[in-house]
């Protein structure tokens, strides 16, 4: 039976890499699929991973209707057995419901990948609906790490290294310290303290300070 599966995790945990691997594994077995993404860091119409992998993909917009898209493809004679949907946190609740409908009524497997919560620790609408509707929610086993070495559980938005908790929910960026506006993954403790690696380094009075702040890790 077809499934709607939501693979979730923080930034830097390998979601896009797994999405590309999933597509490869199904394609080499003769299954027909479509890659979708939205707001990828590499630009439009591409699904990319931080390891350097990238593949052409269909860019999801506010007007995308997954049901109509698959109907049109099948009408043209294309084989559509599965969908790989990256950056699914940016999809609307209606679009997530369309994905569920494809699973239930057309037997299309849907593999969605995304982060669950934004920089304010609030669920993205798309992720919330996926959690509500998915047959399975899989937390990726490759753990992203906070600067202290603990498992990273939260995504922080930074401006010149300083964490911010206000602003638009969707601002495309990457975990690149060179960017004026970027993102950093943190454990809950340091997210609550708004302590990014830049702040920790600036306030450290000795090499042992960061070790102590990290709880001995």
Banded pLDDT at 211 (limits 50, 70, 90): very low
Residues 8-56 pLDDT 10s:
987 776 788 888 999 999 999 999 999 999 987 767 777 877 666 777 8
| Domains along the sequence of the chain with CATH | 4-139 (3.40.50.300), 154-213 (no CATH)
Compute, in degrees rounded to 10, the torsion defined by CA atoms 42, 44, 48, 50: 20
Q: Report the predicted TM-score, pTM, of the whole model to 2 decimal places.
A: 0.76
How far is 164 from 195, CA to CA, in rounded Å?
11
DSSP sequence for 48-98: E-TTS-EEE-EEP-TT--HHHHHHHHHHTT----EEEE-SGGGS-HHHHHH
From 78, 87, 184, 213, the catalytic residue: 87
Catalytic residue check, 87 = yes
């Amino acid at each position: 039976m077809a499934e709607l599966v939501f693979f979730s995790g923080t930034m830097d945990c390998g979601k896009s890499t797994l999405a590309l691997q999933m597509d490869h594994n199904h394609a080499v077995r003769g299954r027909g699929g479509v890659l979708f993404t939205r707001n990828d860091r590499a630009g439009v119409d591409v699904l990319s991973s931080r390891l350097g992998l990238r593949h052409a993909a269909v860019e999801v917009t506010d007007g995308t209707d997954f049901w109509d898209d698959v109907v049109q493809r099948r009408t043209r004679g294309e084989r559509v057995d599965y969908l790989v949907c990256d950056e699914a946190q940016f999809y609307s609740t209606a679009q997530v419901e369309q994905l569920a409908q494809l699973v239930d009524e057309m037997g299309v497997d849907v593999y969605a990948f995304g982060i669950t919560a934004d920089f304010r620790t609030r669920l993205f609408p798309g992720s919330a609906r996926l959690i509500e509707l998915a047959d399975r929610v899989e937390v990726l086993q490759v753990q992203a790490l906070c600067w202290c070495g603990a498992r990273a559980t939260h995504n922080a938005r930074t401006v010149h290294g300083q964490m911010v908790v206000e602003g638009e929910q969707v601002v495309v960026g990457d975990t690149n310290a060179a960017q004026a506006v970027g993102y950093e993954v943190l454990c809950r403790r340091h997210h609550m303290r708004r302590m990014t690696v830049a702040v920790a380094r600036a306030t450290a009075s000795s090499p042992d300070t960061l070790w102590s702040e990290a709880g001995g890790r």
